[in-house]
C-alpha cells in the first residue's frame, strides 16, 4: 500500500497501447513498461487520463496491472502502482477502488466527479466513501475536465481523511496549492500540470504526475533531483529545455501526441486511440518530426 512518505518525485501516467483494430496491444505494452522501468521513476499510474480510462474495460485494467507486475519482477524492481478508479458515480467509484485493491494496486487515483457538477459537500462525500475502501486514495483535481472547481477548504477536508494519502493538482496554476499550504495541509501534493512542474516544486510540491515524462524521462528526473538538491539554476535550465516538448505534447488532446511520438520511435507498434479520440493532424506530426532531434528523441524511421 502506498504511504504518504513514498509520494515524491516522478510518477509516470502510462498510455494504453492499442492495435490498429483497437484491441489491447500487450506486446507493445510490455516493451513500453520495460523501457520506463529502466529509469528511477517513483511510480506508475495505470488507467488515468493518459491511459484513456473511459474507453478501457476493467478486465483490460486487470491485465495491465498483472503484466506490469510481471515486468517489474523480471526487472527486479518494485515501485507503486496507482490505478485510476474515479468516475462521476460514487457507487461505481467505490466498487472500482475495491476491485483495484483486490488485484494488487498500491493506491487509487480518484478524480473529482465530472459532468454532474456536484456541490462541494457532494464532492467531499464522494471521496469520504472512496477512502473507506481500505485502498489509499490520491485525490485528483482537474477542473478543465470535470467542469467544477474544488475549493481550498473542501480540498483540505478531503486531504484530512484518513484514507487519503495525497493529491494530484491539475488545477491549472499554483493558487490552490498555496491556499492549501496556508491552511496547514501537510500531505504530499503532486503537480499534474506538466508546464507548472517547476513552479509547483518551488512552492513545495512533492513531485509530479507528468504525462510528458514518458519522453525524456531522465531529464524530468534530473530536473527534480537538481531542485531537491538546491541546484535551482540547473533545475530551471533543465526544465527550460523540456518546455517545447511539453508544449507540443498538449497541442492536441492527451495522449494523442504522446502516442504518436512513442510509435514513431518504435516503442509502440501503433499510435491507435479509441474513439472519440483521434490521431493527431498531419500538421502537428510534421512539427513533431521537425523537433525530434532537439528533444533528443530518436526517429524510428
Angle between helices 175-182 and 152-159 (to 10 degrees): 60
Q: Is 100 exposed, middle or buried (0-12, 13-18, 19+ CB in 10 A)?
A: buried
Domain covering 7-231 assigned CATH 3.20.20.70 in the classification: yes
φ and ψ at residue 249, rounded to 5 degrees: -65, -20
Give me the pLDDT at residue 294, please.
60
**Given 3-state DSSP classes, what are the helix, strand and coil percentages for the chain, each rounded to the nearest 5?**
50, 10, 40
Please report, for the chain, the start and end positions of each structural domain, with discontinuous segments joined by +: 7-231
Give me the pLDDT at residue 288, please.
83
Matching residue, cell 483490460: 60
Tens of pLDDT along the chain (301 residues) come to 999 999 999 999 999 999 999 999 999 999 999 999 999 999 999 999 999 999 999 999 999 999 999 999 999 999 999 999 999 999 999 999 999 999 999 999 999 999 999 999 999 999 999 999 999 999 999 999 999 999 999 999 999 999 999 999 999 999 999 999 999 999 999 999 999 999 999 999 999 999 999 999 999 999 999 999 999 999 999 999 999 999 999 999 999 999 999 999 899 999 999 999 999 999 998 888 877 666 656 544 3
Give me the pLDDT at residue 289, please.
81
Which residues have a catalytic role annotated? 140, 168
Q: Is 37 left (phi over 0), alpha (psi -120 to 50) or beta?
A: alpha
C-alpha cell at 131: 477512502
Give me the pLDDT at residue 291, please.
72
Give me the pLDDT at residue 286, please.
86
Angstrom CA distances, 246 to 53, 211, 213, 251, stand at 21, 9, 9, 9
Total Cβ atoms within 10 A of residue 74: 12
Amino acid at each position: 500500500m502506498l504511504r504518504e512518505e513514498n509520494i515524491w518525485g516522478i510518477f509516470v501516467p502510462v498510455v494504453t497501447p492499442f492495435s490498429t483494430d483497437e484491441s489491447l496491444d500487450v506486446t507493445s505494452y510490455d516493451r513500453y513498461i520495460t523501457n520506463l522501468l529502466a529509469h528511477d521513476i517513483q511510480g506508475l499510474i495505470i488507467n488515468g487520463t493518459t491511459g484513456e480510462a473511459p474507453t478501457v474495460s476493467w478486465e483490460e485494467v486487470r491485465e495491465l496491472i498483472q503484466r506490469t507486475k510481471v515486468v517489474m519482477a523480471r526487472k527486479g524492481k518494485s515501485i507503486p502502482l496507482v490505478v485510476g478508479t474515479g468516475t462521476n458515480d460514487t457507487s461505481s467509484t467505490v466498487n472500482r477502488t475495491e476491485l483495484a485493491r483486490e488485484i494488487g494496486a498500491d493506491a487509487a487515483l480518484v478524480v473529482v466527479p465530472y459532468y454532474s457538477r456536484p456541490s462541494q459537500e457532494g464532492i467531499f462525500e464522494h471521496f469520504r466513501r472512496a477512502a473507506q475502501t481500505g485502498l489509499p486514495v490520491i485525490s485528483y483535481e482537474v477542473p478543465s475536465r470535470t467542469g467544477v472547481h474544488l475549493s481550498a477548504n473542501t480540498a483540505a477536508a478531503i486531504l484530512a481523511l484518513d484514507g487519503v494519502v495525497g493529491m494530484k493538482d491539475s488545477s491549472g496554476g499554483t493558487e490552490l496549492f498555496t491556499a492549501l499550504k496556508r491552511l496547514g495541509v501537510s500531505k504530499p501534493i503532486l503537480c499534474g500540470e506538466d508546464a507548472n512542474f517547476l513552479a509547483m516544486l518551488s512552492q513545495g510540491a512533492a513531485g509530479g504526475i507528468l504525462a510528458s515524462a514518458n519522453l525524456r524521462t531522465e531529464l524530468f528526473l534530473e530536473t527534480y533531483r537538481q531542485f531537491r538538491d538546491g541546484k535551482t539554476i540547473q533545475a530551471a535550465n533543465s526544465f527550460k529545455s523540456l518546455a517545447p516538448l511539453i508544449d507540443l505534447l498538449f497541442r492536441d488532446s492527451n495522449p494523442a501526441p504522446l502516442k504518436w511520438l512513442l510509435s514513431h520511435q518504435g516503442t509502440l507498434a501503433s499510435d491507435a486511440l479509441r474513439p472519440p479520440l483521434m490521431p493527431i493532424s498531419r500538421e502537428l506530426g510534421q512539427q513533431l518530426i521537425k523537433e525530434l532531434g532537439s528533444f533528443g528523441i530518436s526517429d524510428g524511421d
